[in-house]
């Protein structure tokens, strides 16, 4: 039988690889379009509510994008976009919404408590933990330095 | 010595398959007994659906063999879910002894070997060997939720939604027309004390599927396929017996990518095939059909490369059932995998060809990657296993 190291080299040299150029271009275009939609929503909000502060506009914009991400996940369309765009649809906030909504949909058969609620953050959990920890550290430093 | 020969004859009485819609559109589409229109089959979860497919594959095979539930001595089977849940839940519908097995995707090979040995040793007269897998339940167990928008790598395989069952017996099968009528399957449900509403739904779903069973497939990609494959009117001219096999060894060459299971399983398949030829004194030319389980397209190439290094060239008719399962347009990348893959391809395609006398001596090597969701996270590599069993067909007359 073949040597272990030689076999691993054979596999890594010969296994089919992702088409780099196509996936990068697809991710760039789709990610860009999602961000443009977000910016567009922000601009429309500014037009409708003229005296809304910049900060409130950004918050509402995020809320609407999260809603859209979850909505298209529920319709079963966001995963199809993800197969095509990869990182382009994972990185924006809609991708985060997708990573929370999809396990919630998947595990609703195990009931509300141990299904949806327990499993909702299976994928998004690490992001939330790191986000909270990072903001705590930055806030701590900011409090004493500034 | 891992290679054995079955001394007293063990015959295959019948084979029955239930597959999902995507499999029905694949290369073996015409060969299956039931093609479902949706992969939930009126159930509330994919696991329930898998169990129902498993149950109906066993019941269908028993009906097709012209037997009753009570005639079966032992149910042998397994699947990919935790604690063999879909097999165990299916087995509660039968008044029969049950042995649950697990060897990942090679469970079918294992169950055929165990079944044939039990019959040959005189410990049982009739056994069923069944396995099942379901794409959606396997995804949830091993990977991510279905709706998560991630990308599948090009080495990934697609778990087959399908269940199949083979009935092994010490008695020679009778020369019968092999069609199972839809009424038979509806009758199964009447005896299981189900809610009348469920039975209605079930009947309706069968009605819908009637049209699908004999669907014409003209654009078949692989050369190995024959269009009249699923001609139900033709009677079988040959009966098939299990003649022996080689029990596999767990081989680990340090592949740690759970999305590249073909590479993890290929060395095990290579080792089993080498051992089989060495211990039985045969060469690849002895068989007129050589099939591996679910190595996928890259795994198939890897196996051929590994064997060529050992000086063995597999003939042109060598086929990997996983690699040939789906058409390239179905975007499964490497092809099918799962416990239902080699099983449904065997019961749907290989067995029927053998029963028509198109294949005389066949070597089947189902392969499996032995991992669970946590072992790759704990930095374990993925071992593979492959079992081989051999079949021969003989004329009824």
* B196 interfacial to chain A (CB closer than 8 Å): no
Q: What is the pTM of this model?
A: 0.86
Compute φ and ψ for B251, nearest 5 degrees: -120, 135
- Regarding beta strands B162-169 and B158-159, do their DSSP bridges make them parallel or antiparallel, or are they unpaired? unpaired
* B312-353 confidence digits (pLDDT tens): 999 988 999 999 899 888 888 889 999 999 999 999 889 988
Q: How confident is the model at residue B119 (pLDDT cuts 50, 70, 90)?
A: very high
- Give tens-digit pLDDT for A13-33: 998 888 889 899 999 999 999
- Buried b / exposed e along B224-253 (16+ C-beta atoms within 10 A): bbeeebbeeeeebebbbbbbbbbbbeebbb
**Which pLDDT score is estimated for A57?**
92
The torsion angles phi and psi of A59, rounded to 5 degrees, stand at: -65, -50
Q: B145 and A105: CB-CB below 8 Å?
A: yes
Kindly report which listed range (A104-108, B215-219, B369-373) carries the lowest average pLDDT score. Answer: B215-219
Q: Which residues of B touch A24 (CB under 8 A)?
A: none
CA A60 – CA B153 distance, rounded (Å): 35
pLDDT, tens only, A91-131: 899 999 999 999 999 898 888 998 899 989 988 999 999 99
Per the CB < 8 Å rule, is A11 touching B263?
yes
Yes or no: say if B37 and B208 are a contact pair by the CB < 8 Å rule. yes
Partner-chain contact B45 A15, CB within 8 Å: no
Tell me the pLDDT band of B39, cut-offs 50, 70 and 90: confident
Residues of chain B with C-beta less than 8 angstroms from the C-beta of A1: 251, 267, 270-271, 274, 306, 310
Cβ–Cβ under 8 Å, residues A116 and B145 = no
Query: Residue A99: its chain B contacts at CB < 8 A?
Result: 148
Percent of chain B with pLDDT over 70: 84
pLDDT value of position B330: 85
Helix (H) or strand (E) holding B276: helix B261-280
Instruction: Provide mean pLDDT across the span A79-85.
Output: 88
A72–B contact, CB cutoff 8 A:
no
| pLDDT of B152 | 86
How high is the mean pLDDT of chain A? 91
* Interface residue of A6, A9, A10, A11 to substitute, partner B, most B CBs within 10 Å: A11
Chains A–B, number of C-beta pairs less than 8 Å apart: 97
pLDDT band, very low/low/confident/very high, at B160 (cuts 50, 70, 90): very high
| pLDDT exceeds 90 at position B373 | no
Q: Which two tokens stand for residue B370?
A: 């032995």
Tokens for B95, please give them: 């008044």
> A16 and B333 in contact by Cβ < 8 A?
yes
User: What's the CA gap between A75 and A66, in Å, rounded?
Assistant: 14
B148/A102 touch (CB, cutoff 8 Å), yes or no: yes
Using the Cβ of B153 and the Cβ atoms of chain A, whether some distance falls under 8 Å is answered with yes
What is chain B's Cα-based Rg?
19
Among B74-88, B142-156, B251-265, name the one with the lowest average pLDDT.
Answer: B142-156
**Rounded Cα–Cα distance for residues A58 and A53 (Å):** 9
Confidence grade of residue B198 (pLDDT, cut at 50, 70, 90):
low
Q: What is the pLDDT confidence band of residue B243, given thresholds at 50, 70 and 90?
A: very high
DSSP class per residue in B51-79? HHHHHHHHHHHHHHTT--GGG--EEEEEE
pLDDT classification of B201: cutoffs 50, 70, 90:
low
What pLDDT does residue B232 have? 42
Please name the member of A14, A17, A106 whose beta carbon is closest to the beta carbon of B140: A106
> Which chain B residue's Cα is nearest to A104?
B145
Q: Which of A4, A81, A90 sits opposite B253 (nearest CB)?
A: A4
Percent of chain B topping pLDDT 90: 51
The predicted structure's pLDDT at residue B211: 43
On whether any CB of chain B is under 8 Å from the CB of A4, the answer is yes
Mean pLDDT of the region A41-64: 91
- Taking the domains of chain A in order of start, what are their residue ranges? 19-106
Q: Residue B199's pLDDT band (boundaries 50, 70, 90)? A: low
- Inter-chain CB proximity A123 and B144 less than 8 Å: yes
């Amino acid at each position: 039988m073949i040597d272990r190291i030689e076999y691993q080299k054979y596999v890594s040299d010969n296994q089919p690889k992702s088409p780099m150029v196509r996936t990068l271009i697809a991710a760039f275009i789709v990610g860009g379009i999602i961000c443009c939609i977000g910016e567009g929503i922000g601009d429309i909000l500014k037009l409708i509510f003229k005296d809304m502060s910049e900060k409130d506009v950004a918050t509402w914009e995020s809320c609407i994008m999260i809603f859209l991400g979850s909505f298209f996940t529920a319709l079963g369309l966001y995963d199809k976009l993800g197969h095509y765009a990869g990182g382009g649809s994972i990185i924006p906030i809609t991708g985060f919404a997708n990573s929370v909504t999809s396990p919630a949909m998947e595990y609703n058969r195990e009931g509300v408590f141990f299904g949806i609620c327990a499993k909702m953050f299976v994928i998004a959990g690490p992001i939330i933990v790191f986000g909270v920890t990072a903001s705590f550290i930055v806030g701590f430093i900011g409090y004493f330095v500034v | 010595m891992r290679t054995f020969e079955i001394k007293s004859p063990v015959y295959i009485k019948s084979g029955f398959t239930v597959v999902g819609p995507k499999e029905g559109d694949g290369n073996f589409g015409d060969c299956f007994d039931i093609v479902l229109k949706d992969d939930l089959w009126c159930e509330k979860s994919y696991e329930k659906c898998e169990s129902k497919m498993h149950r109906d594959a066993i019941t269908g095979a028993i009906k097709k063999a012209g037997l009753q539930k009570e005639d079966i001595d032992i149910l042998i089977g397994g699947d990919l879910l935790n604690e063999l849940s879909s097999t165990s839940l299916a087995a509660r519908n039968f008044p029969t002894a049950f042995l649950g097995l697990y060897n990942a995707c090679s469970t079918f090979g294992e169950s055929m070997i165990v079944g044939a040995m039990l019959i040959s040793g005189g410990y049982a007269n009739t056994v069923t060997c069944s396995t099942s897998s379901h794409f959606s339940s396997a995804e949830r167990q091993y990977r991510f939720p279905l709706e998560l928008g991630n990308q599948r790598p090009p080495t990934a395989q697609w778990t087959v939604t399908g269940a199949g069952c083979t009935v092994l017996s010490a008695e020679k099968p009778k020369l019968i027309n092999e069609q199972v009528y839809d009424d038979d399957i509806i009758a199964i449900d009447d005896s299981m004390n189900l809610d009348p509403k469920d039975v209605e739904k079930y009947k309706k779903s069968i009605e819908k599927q009637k049209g699908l069973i004999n669907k014409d497939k003209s654009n078949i990609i692989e050369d190995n396929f024959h269009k009249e494959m699923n001609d139900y009117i033709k009677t079988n001219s040959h009966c098939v017996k299990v003649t022996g096999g080689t029990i596999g060894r767990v081989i680990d060459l340090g592949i740690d990518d759970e999305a590249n299971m073909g590479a993890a399983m290929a060395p095990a398949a290579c080792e089993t095939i080498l051992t089989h030829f060495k211990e039985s004194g045969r060469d690849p030319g002895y068989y007129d059909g050589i099939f591996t389980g679910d190595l996928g397209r890259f795994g198939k190439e890897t196996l051929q490369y590994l064997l060529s290094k050992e000086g063995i060239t597999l003939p042109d008719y060598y086929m990997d059932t996983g690699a040939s399962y789906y058409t390239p347009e179905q975007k499964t990348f490497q092809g099918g995998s799962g416990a239902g893959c080699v099983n449904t391809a065997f019961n749907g395609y290989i067995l029927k060809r053998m029963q028509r006398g198109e294949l005389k001596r066949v070597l089947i090597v189902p392969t499996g990657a032995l991992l669970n969701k946590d072992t790759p996270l704990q930095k374990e590599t993925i071992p593979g296993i492959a079992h081989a069993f051999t079949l021969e067909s003989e004329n009824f007359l």
